[in-house]
Amino acid sequence: MTFNLTRRAILAATVVLGLAGTAAAEFPESQITLVIPFAAGGSTDVVGRIVADRMGQELGQQIVVQNVGGAGGSLGAGQVAKADPDGYTILMGTVATHALNPLILKQKPYDPVADFAPVSLLVLVPNVLAVNPAVPANTVQELIDLAKKEPLAYASSGNGTPLHLSGELFKSMAGVDITHIPYKGSGPALTDVLGNQVPVIFDNLPSASGHISSGKLRALGVTTKERAPSFPDVPAIAETLPGYETYSWNALFAPAGTPPEVVAALNKAAVAAMADPAVAERMKEFSATIVASTPEELGEHVKAEMAKWEPVVRDANVSLD
Amino acid sequence: MELFSNLAMGFSVAGSLANLAFCLIGVLLGTLIGVLPGIGATATIAMLLPITFQLEPVSSLIMLAGIYYGAQYGGSTTAILINMPGESSSAVTAIDGYQMARKGRAGTALAVAALGSFFAGTVSTFLVAIFAPPLTAIALKFGAAEYFSLMVLGLVMSVALAHGSVLKALAMVVLGLLLGMVGTDIYTGTPRFTMGITQYADGLNFVALAVGVFGIAEILRNLEDETDREVMTKNINRLLPTRDELRQMIGPVLRGTGVGSVLGILPGGGAILASFASYTVEKKLSKNPREFGQGALAGVAGPESANNAGAQTSFIPLLTLGIPANPVMALMIGAMIIQGIVPGPNVVSEQPELFWGIIASMWIGNLMLVVLNLPLIGLWVKLLTVPYFVLFPIIMAMCSIGVYSVASNTFDLYAVAFFGLLGYLMSKLRCEPAPLLLGFVLGPLLEENLRRAMILSRGDASTFVTRPISALLLLMALGVLVLVFLPQIRKRRDEVFTESDA
């Protein structure tokens, strides 16, 4: 009896130790939470869910998506900045959370460089300048000429968003004044431009693409340096205003202090997920360009973006408390 | 008859065994989460989005749509039984529905709500099929000025909602407007009344506010006086409405369906107004308006039909323009994009099976809901017989989970506690929570559109009367004001006459 018990105890102990040994060596041993700092249904959410699904298969653990919307992405990003740096809580960061908000907000809820361990820059998403078809402007140049003759207004998804600042950068480079009309998100802004309540809009290309291909909106130019592969007929704004370049991007971040081997495991899974043809096909439909960078490249990218936007934010005089 | 061939195609898609099953799962799940107070369709659909990856696009959208209108049905159940509206649209149902339940007519109220909703659902499904493209054109004519005038009309109507003093109702509307101001100003980015709490940067959570002022306040009031609840549970004798009651509900249901269908099309705020507008209309048309607030049948039948009709027609801007009318529709767009469908005007021509399949499934779903819910009424009513020391803690726990699930924000829970106390205080002062809620919902829209219209017109206020739709809406608001004050003027005159007679 005693012998049996002891032997069983030893066996059990061996099994437990063995399990613990493997677990410590292999990340991840339980499910991972991906925080998306915007409401469900938006473009960041869609990209995040597609990637989370595929990355989960790579890692052999489920990745649970949690939408923590609010304050233009600052709430969700702030939450991940303060999370345990073990790789089990990661963030789908964007140009808003890691370049614009830190520049615009007077009270900084987190430091985009010091508080995060970059994992991978996933995709670049072009923005687009479009007008209602009733507007007498077929090219970027004609719109600039029109704006010099009569007062115009443009709609954006909100104050301090990448789209607002794309518009401000356009105004300063073209030397025109166009009144900014902010909305609560892309949807209502699009509605008013489709109904010609507001003539001009800066929007994410994915959210406007359906209206552009159906002819309800006339795309004048994409904001990327090159034309977007999904709309080869739409010129880049840079063809009229050399040097003009803005785009939205999505990237994975872990909290600062996450062990390098965990970051490497996450990066490997993310890169593998983006290489999947099915994911690539989805991203193409979405007009997004796949980057799938290394952690170091993402770190450099964040610094470059902050340097690029700093003067635009200052000139446009956008600041939020 | 292209319409019929299109509908036939839709029914063949929606009628496949798999799609029928997904529709059933959707409406069952929707009813369930609707009945659980606090847990709304938005949270459920968000949680289910990843599952829809694996499904056919049509099946996943049919299921998600089922959750949405199933939740509308379920939401009115809790509003009637425990005075706990989970969605803004069922807040109005709680006013008279809960009073009916207290008088032992819970079964009747639930049946009236279910039948009214089914009728409205049927009519509006056909409206969606016939009028989707032309109605969309009307919605696009609504600019900032028109929305401002619509909100003015809504706020004026909210005063008519009250059945006590007009002054108290106005005070509640203003308090609601003030609470709606909390959050970041979208034009300047300045935080207002957030007390430095970043979690309130996007404003107070509607669900937290509604659960607080209606639900928690009701629980507090019940704990004060236990005998009240016992009376209510003993008086349930009949579940289905009598022939006479059925006759009474025809008018309100027809009018509610009309009001709801029209307002549901407007993206942003339109559908919210539907049930409030219908209640006002019924109260004004009623021979005995005093009954309202005391358990009037029309006060349940009208708004319930209106909110269901609005829920269906809010698919019109989604399917034809790719524009969401509310957060649930925004999620549906997300679901479409995940499936590789670009929402927009092309959906009808490029994906006719999807478009007509969803429309046909709406009617099938509504039928399923009635078949499911009529027998379930008995079960729901039995909920009332659960002793309060079991029921109240369960409700509190469900509310907390539900409110938290909306945005994973603990500050929303503090808001529930605060508004629970405020609601209790209001009930002591005999102030109505419904006008407060309407002020809270419409206030921010009113302000946003007023300022947008003024920016667009370059500071010229005449834009509100020179635009015909806006001018018409403002005239209607004026008309409602006259209607509200007319009885009082007449009453005063009557009083003068009686005095002179004596």
Structural domains of chain A, ranges and CATH numbers in brackets: 10-125+248-316 (3.40.190.150), 126-239 (3.40.190.10)
What average pLDDT does the segment B27-32 reach?
86
| CA angle centred on B219, ends B218 and B224, rounded to 5° | 100
Residue B370's pLDDT band (boundaries 50, 70, 90)? confident
What average pLDDT does the segment B314-323 reach?
73
Residue A276's pLDDT band (boundaries 50, 70, 90)? very high
CA dist B25 and B48 (Å) reads 12
Query: Alpha helices of chain A — where are they, by DSSP H?
Result: 2-25, 43-59, 74-81, 95, 101-104, 140-149, 162-174, 186-194, 205-213, 260-275, 277-285, 295-316
Per residue in A74-116, pLDDT (tens digit) is 888 999 999 999 999 999 999 999 998 888 887 788 999 999 9
| CA angle centred on B21, ends B17 and B24, rounded to 5° | 140
**So what's the pLDDT on residue A15?**
46
Q: Is some CB atom of chain A closer than 8 A to the CB atom of B43? A: no
Radius of gyration of chain A (CA): 23
Helix/strand/coil for A92: strand
Whole-model pTM: value is 0.76
Contact assessment for residue B81 and residue B101, using Cβ atoms and an 8 Å cutoff: yes
CA B18 to chain centroid? 30
Residue of B182, B318, B337, B346 to mutate when probing chain A, most A C-beta within 10 A:
B337
Side-chain-side CA neighbours of B223 within 13 Å: the count stands at 12
Q: Is some CB atom of chain B closer than 8 A to the CB atom of A183? A: yes
Number of domains in chain B: 1
**So what's the pLDDT on residue A17?**
44
pLDDT at A6 over 60: no
Q: Is some CB atom of chain A closer than 8 A to the CB atom of B348? A: no
pLDDT at A125 over 50: yes
What average pLDDT does the segment A166-177 reach?
92
> How many Å lie between the alpha carbon of B344 and the closest alpha carbon of chain A?
5
Q: Report the relative pairing of strands A218-222 and A89-94 from DSSP bridges.
A: unpaired
Contact assessment for residue B443 and residue B177, using Cβ atoms and an 8 Å cutoff: yes
**Token couple for A82:** 């303060």
Bigger pLDDT: A223 or B281?
A223
Bridge partners for A179 per DSSP: A153
Per residue in A220-267, pLDDT (tens digit) is 999 999 898 889 999 999 999 998 999 999 999 999 999 999 999 999
pLDDT cut 70: percent of chain B above it: 82
pLDDT cut 90: percent of chain A above it: 50
Whether residue A187 and residue B324 make contact (CB cut-off 8 A), yes or no, is yes
Nearest beta carbon to residue B187 from set A49, A75, A159? A159
Helical packing angle, A43-59 and B41-52, nearest 10°: 50
> How many Å lie between the alpha carbon of B117 and the closest alpha carbon of chain A?
28
Cβ within 8 Å of A, B 78-137: none
Task: Give the structural domain span for B31.
Answer: 2-501
Cβ within 8 Å of A, B 202-241: 202
Contact assessment for residue B124 and residue B447, using Cβ atoms and an 8 Å cutoff: no
Q: Report the relative pairing of strands A247-255 and A200-204 from DSSP bridges.
A: unpaired
Cβ within 8 Å of A, B 244-273: 267-268
pLDDT at B501 over 70: no
Residue of A68, A108, A194, A281 to mutate when probing chain B, most B C-beta within 10 A:
A194
Q: Is some CB atom of chain A closer than 8 A to the CB atom of B354? A: no
ipTM of the complex: 0.76
Range with the largest mean pLDDT of B212-216, B428-432, B472-476, B478-482: B472-476
Phi, psi of A117 (to 5 degrees): -105, 110
**So what's the pLDDT on residue A166?**
93
What average pLDDT does the segment B7-24 reach?
88
Whether residue A181 and residue B321 make contact (CB cut-off 8 A), yes or no, is no
